[in-house]
């Protein structure tokens, strides 16, 4: 089947081309994808844009994850061209702040929002290939010192949208996986390789055509992107949590809230994931979506922060509880090895499954 005809709710949709491709990858690995049926169709679809040698060149690397110490745990995430470093910076900054005892206090949202802003306000000017200097304790302390606990700081700050799927898993031996994938925008580039029906992403949106821009489009470069899966280990190095979310450039903001609730406030996974959230309003982009900082914080229905944040100098806007505030999912490893999973209630297709 395909998507050529109108479908009614409940109709079964089959994707035989995708099924063939998945089986080919299972049998033959990477080359079965890029040099097989899909690859040949992509070359024809590109009409000279791609060559077989382009597709034969491996583009994925095993990378060393970044790590910070926060709330008595080690939190790990991906290096650039991921924005995982922004999550780690936010948490390291928060670890040195005097957070209110309750996440319901407006100052809680204020401090977490300010940590996200001072972590990411200069992302457009950063070279996306390295972020280790940004996680230096001195740099973290410098940015933390920018935060005023009773007033909003004036600078530039983040957001955007996307189409992203996150999953996490922990096995019986304590091995955890935190995995995220994204097409960038909905159906990505809206191009479908005709043989398999696989559609192409548009992550190239992260590039800039402006000469000299840190993300300038060039051969062999990778665009900055929003994906920030995370993994947390305890004081002894054992796995504590695998966690991630969709949410475009708001991913570090969402995860900082969930992780702070989980580690600092001791909330249960379901509480931490379901609790109402803030996000820096759309139109405050860090990087590829560069726009002026308009001071807007979006608050999800059910929050208790609006009046307090306004008094601290933030412009606030109430939005419905839902997908615009991310779909965060996590698995928490409890003492004794019991696993506690939570799927975001904002997600219509999310699930937490154990066996």
Q: Are residues 41 and 74 in the same domain?
A: no
| CA distances to 5, 134, 179, 189, 222 from 225, in Å | 34, 17, 15, 15, 9
Give pLDDT, residue 282. Answer: 58
Least confident span in 45-59, 170-184, 274-288, 293-307: 274-288
Portion of the chain with pLDDT greater than 70, in percent:
90
Residue 46 domain boundaries: 1-60
Mean pLDDT score across all residues of the chain:
87
Taking 90 as the threshold, does the pLDDT of residue 122 lie above it?
no
Q: Are residues 296 and 325 in the same domain?
A: yes
For residues 119-123, average pLDDT? 81
Give pLDDT, residue 260. Answer: 97
* 60-78 tens-digit pLDDT: 889 899 999 999 999 999 9
Give pLDDT, residue 125. Answer: 65
324 is a domain residue: yes
186 is a domain residue: no
If one counts the domains in the chain, the total is 2
Taking 90 as the threshold, does the pLDDT of residue 244 lie above it?
yes
Cβ count within 10 A of residue 58: 9
DSSP tag of 262: I
Residue 207 main-chain phi, psi, to 5 deg:
-75, 160
| Winning range, highest mean pLDDT, from 11-15, 57-61, 191-195, 231-235 | 231-235
Task: Give the pLDDT band of residue 1 (cuts 50, 70, 90).
Answer: very low
Task: Give the pLDDT band of residue 13 (cuts 50, 70, 90).
Answer: confident
Q: Are residues 302 and 154 in the same domain?
A: yes
Q: Are residues 84 and 51 in the same domain?
A: no
Angle between helices 137-144 and 84-95 (to 10 degrees): 70
Give pLDDT, residue 287. Answer: 43
| Domain final residue, candidates 60, 76, 103 | 60
Instruction: Tell me the DSSP string of 52-66.
Output: HHHHHS------PPE
Taking 70 as the threshold, does the pLDDT of residue 7 lie above it?
yes
**Cα–Cα distance for residue pair 70/193, rounded to 1 Å:** 44
Query: Which residue did the predictor score with more confidence, 157 or 191?
Result: 191
Give pLDDT, residue 158. Answer: 44
41 is a domain residue: yes
Give pLDDT, residue 283. Answer: 44
287 is a domain residue: yes
348 is a domain residue: no
355 is a domain residue: no
* 124-166 tens-digit pLDDT: 666 556 677 889 999 999 999 999 999 888 774 444 444 788 9
Rounded to 10 degrees, what is the CA torsion of 203, 217, 293, 254?
30
Q: Are residues 169 and 31 in the same domain?
A: no
* 87-101 tens-digit pLDDT: 999 999 999 999 999
DSSP tag of 12: -
Q: Are residues 173 and 52 in the same domain?
A: no
For residues 163-180, average pLDDT? 92
**Cα–Cα distance for residue pair 118/155, rounded to 1 Å:** 8
| Winning range, highest mean pLDDT, from 26-35, 46-55, 345-354 | 26-35
Give pLDDT, residue 215. Answer: 84
| CA distances to 28, 73, 108, 172, 261 from 304, in Å | 53, 28, 10, 40, 15
Give pLDDT, residue 4. Answer: 55
Do you know the residue count of the chain? 355
197 is a domain residue: no
Instruction: Tell me the DSSP string of 13-55.
Output: ---HHHHHHHHHHHHHHHHHHHSSHHHHHHHHHHTTS--HHHH
Longest dimension (CA), the chain: 60
Q: Are residues 105 and 156 in the same domain?
A: yes
Give pLDDT, residue 157. Answer: 42
Q: Are residues 108 and 218 in the same domain?
A: yes
* 102-118 tens-digit pLDDT: 999 999 999 999 999 99
């Amino acid at each position: 089947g395909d998507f050529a005809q109108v479908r009614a709710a409940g109709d079964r949709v089959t994707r035989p081309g995708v099924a063939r491709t998945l089986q080919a990858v299972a049998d033959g690995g990477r080359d079965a994808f890029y040099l097989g049926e899909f690859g040949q169709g992509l070359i024809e679809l590109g009409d000279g844009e791609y060559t077989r040698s382009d597709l034969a060149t491996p583009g994925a690397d095993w990378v060393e994850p970044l790590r910070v110490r926060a709330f008595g745990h080690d939190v790990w995430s991906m290096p650039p061209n991921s924005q995982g470093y922004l999550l780690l910076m936010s948490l390291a900054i928060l670890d040195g702040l005097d957070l209110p005892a309750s996440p319901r206090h407006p100052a809680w949202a204020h401090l977490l929002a300010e940590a996200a802003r001072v972590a990411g306000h200069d992302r457009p000017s950063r070279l996306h290939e390295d972020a280790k200097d940004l996680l230096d304790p001195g740099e973290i302390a410098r940015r933390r010192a920018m935060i005023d606990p009773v007033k909003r700081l004036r600078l530039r700050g983040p957001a955007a949208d996307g189409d992203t799927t996150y999953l996490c898993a922990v096995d019986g031996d304590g091995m955890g996986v935190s995995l995220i994938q994204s097409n960038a925008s909905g159906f990505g580039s809206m191009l479908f390789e005709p043989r398999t029906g696989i559609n192409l992403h548009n992550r190239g949106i992260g590039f800039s055509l402006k000469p000299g821009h840190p993300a300038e489009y060039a051969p062999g470069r990778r665009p900055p992107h929003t994906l920030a899966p995370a993994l947390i280990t305890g004081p002894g190095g054992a796995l504590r949590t695998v966690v991630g979310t969709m949410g475009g450039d708001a991913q570090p903001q969402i995860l900082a809230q969930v992780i702070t609730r989980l580690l600092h406030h001791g909330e249960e996974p379901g509480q931490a994931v379901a609790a109402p959230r803030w996000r820096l309003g759309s139109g405050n982009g860090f990087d590829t979506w560069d726009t002026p900082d308009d001071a807007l914080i979006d608050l999800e229905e059910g929050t208790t922060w609006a009046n307090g944040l306004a008094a601290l100098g933030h412009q606030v806007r109430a939005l419905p509880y839902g997908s615009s505030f991310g779909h965060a999912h996590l698995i928490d490893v409890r003492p004794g090895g019991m696993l506690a999973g939570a799927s975001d209630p904002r997600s219509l297709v999310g699930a937490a499954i154990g066996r």
